[in-house]
Amino acid sequence: MSDGKFTRRALVAGAGTAALAVPAAGKLAGGMIDLGLPGGPSLRPTTPDFPGKRDMIVQRIRPPLLETPMDAFREGVITPNDRHFVRWNWSMPTEVRAGQHRVAVGGAVRKPVSLTLEEIAAAGEHVSIVAVNQCAGNGRGLSEPRVTGTQWGNGAMSCAKWTGVRLGDVLAKAGLADSAKRVRFAGLDVPLTDGAPQFIKSIPLDVALREDVLVAWAMNDEALPILHGFPLRIVVPGWFSTYWVKMLATIEVLTGEDESHYVAETYRWPTAPVKPGDKDFPTVPIEAMPPRSFITSHADGDTVARGRPLTLEGFAFGGDVGLAKVELVGAGEGGGWTAACQLGPDEHGPYAFRRWSVTLPHVTGDLAEIGSRATNTKGLSQPDALVWNPSGYARNVIERITLRAQ
């Protein structure tokens, strides 16, 4: 199929109208934000101009990459839809007719089916789950040494309530063949060029059949916005969002390993520590999320009152399991000192953001390079030093700030 695909001539012609002929009229409204990326470039525009969005950090207009400003995380544990980060690998349609949308379920199944949205919604019990949606490359721009790719600050994450049916119930409409090993998803977003790899992703069958892995149509009790994958997206709580395929159109059951580009060749990371310049090391797909935590009450360089108590607040999540604890830690390896933080209520289960706070009784001087350290119920803690990898995946180093006493 070449309709809508780009030939070289069409690309050049398109560039002519899209880029050459557009004067200042196309400017986005909004201001600028400094993401603090070491060595820069660090400034990004912010804009409320994307549909259904308040101010978002613009990493890319086309296809859209919008980062959530950290101030959206100062209160609560649910990120509103109009602040939820946006990430598309390829361009997506900007219009979807619900009545015409179908989800094809095929591959290693007993009977391939093509399901309407109503048939999906009737496939099983409706389930809601609150889960963190986080890009595998969240925080990549903070890597030192720097690496290429989308230069996210830490805002390529959000937490929402997702509602849909279990993927297992949708698979049951077709019936799994005995040879089923993995389940692969494709959406309506397709490459602009012929022969480029489509953004398709797969998960092992045991994960696909988990009780909490969903085909979701609602996000915080609203229909999924187009920017978040209307009409349906996969939700894999605890796993990075690369697997949460949006605008779901195809479910394909595989009988073996997935050799497609976005599983076999990218979204992978080393099995053992590597250094910049290392090559040909073994890699595995980036899947389950590790724990992370952030201070939201104060920013780096803020001043605090000497001789007074100080309360710090923030939020954390355990990754693919719940949180066990959050501690405030001092500078240096091991932290020198730690202070146990009080966790907020476990309102939404193991995959959600959770708030924390801690009060230091008496500020005696500057608080240099302090950070929060989350530990999950598997005993995994945030590391003191970045686990550097050439794609900048799965950042979860302790994020540090310095507060000046006055």
Partner 1 sequence: MRAALFLPLAFLLAACGAAPRVEFADASITLPDDPGDLPEGPGRDSVIENCTACHSPSTMLQQPKISREKWEATVKKMVTLYKAPVDEKAVPQIVDYLLAAQAGEGDVSRETPR
Is 243 near partner 1 (CB under 8 A)? no
Is 117 near partner 1 (CB under 8 A)? yes
SS3 155: coil
Among the listed ranges 17-25, 70-78, 326-334, 343-351, the one in contact with partner 1 (CB under 8 A) is 17-25
Which residue's CB is nearer to partner 1, number 51 or number 282?
A: 51
Is 317 near partner 1 (CB under 8 A)? no
The DSSP letter of residue 12 is: H
Is 342 near partner 1 (CB under 8 A)? no
Is 217 near partner 1 (CB under 8 A)? yes
CA distances from 120 to 41, 165, 207, 229 (A): 45, 7, 19, 15
Min CB(106)–partner 1 separation in Å:
22
Q: Would you say the C-alpha torsion 147, 184, 270, 288 has a positive or negative sign?
A: positive
CA distances from 132 to 17, 40, 68, 239, 319 (A): 39, 28, 13, 9, 8
Q: Which of 181, 261, 348, 400 binds partner 1 (CB under 8 A)?
A: 261
Q: Taking a C-beta distance cutoff of 8 angstroms, is the pair 187, 248 a contact?
A: yes
Min CB(335)–partner 1 separation in Å:
29
Q: Which of 4, 14, 334, 349 binds partner 1 (CB under 8 A)?
A: 14
Min CB(153)–partner 1 separation in Å:
11
Q: Which of 1, 2, 3, 8 binds partner 1 (CB under 8 A)?
A: 8
Among the listed ranges 20-28, 300-308, 344-352, 359-367, the one in contact with partner 1 (CB under 8 A) is 20-28
Q: Which of 1, 2, 97, 284 binds partner 1 (CB under 8 A)?
A: 97
Is 344 near partner 1 (CB under 8 A)? no
Is 305 near partner 1 (CB under 8 A)? no
Q: Is the peptide bond before 41 cis (omega within 30 degrees of 0)?
A: yes
Quick one: tokens of 373? 């350290």
Residue numbers 39-68 binding partner 1 by CB under 8 A:
39-45, 47, 49-52, 58-64
Is 80 near partner 1 (CB under 8 A)? no
Is 163 near partner 1 (CB under 8 A)? yes
Is 154 near partner 1 (CB under 8 A)? no
Is 223 near partner 1 (CB under 8 A)? yes
Is 274 near partner 1 (CB under 8 A)? no
Min CB(10)–partner 1 separation in Å:
8
Distance CA 371, CA 375 (A): 13
Q: Which of 54, 102, 146, 378 binds partner 1 (CB under 8 A)?
A: 146
Q: Which of 36, 74, 196, 334 binds partner 1 (CB under 8 A)?
A: 196
Is 30 near partner 1 (CB under 8 A)? yes
Distance CA 50, CA 82 (A): 9
Is 195 near partner 1 (CB under 8 A)? yes
Min CB(361)–partner 1 separation in Å:
41
Q: Which of 1, 2, 3, 25 binds partner 1 (CB under 8 A)?
A: 25
Q: Taking a C-beta distance cutoff of 8 angstroms, is the pair 235, 214 a contact?
A: yes
The DSSP letter of residue 188 is: S
Quick one: tokens of 332? 């240096």
Is 3 near partner 1 (CB under 8 A)? no
Q: Taking a C-beta distance cutoff of 8 angstroms, is the pair 333, 368 a contact?
A: no
Q: Pseudo-torsion of CA 313, 314, 320, 325, nearest 10°?
A: -20
Question: How many Cα atoms are found within 13 Å in the side-chain-facing hemisphere of 148?
Answer: 0
Distance CA 316, CA 336 (A): 21
Among the listed ranges 35-43, 104-112, 267-275, 288-296, the one in contact with partner 1 (CB under 8 A) is 35-43
The DSSP letter of residue 149 is: S
Nearest to 177 by CA among 111, 112, 108, 253: 108
Min CB(36)–partner 1 separation in Å:
12
Min CB(135)–partner 1 separation in Å:
15
Give bridge partners of residue 114 from the DSSP assignment. Answer: 104
Residues 6+ apart with CB under 8 A from 108: 176, 177, 179, 180, 181, 253, 254, 255
Which residue's CB is nearer to partner 1, number 193 or number 342?
A: 193
CA distances from 31 to 63, 151, 296, 319 (A): 21, 18, 21, 33
SS3 46: strand
Which residue's CB is nearer to partner 1, number 161 or number 181?
A: 161
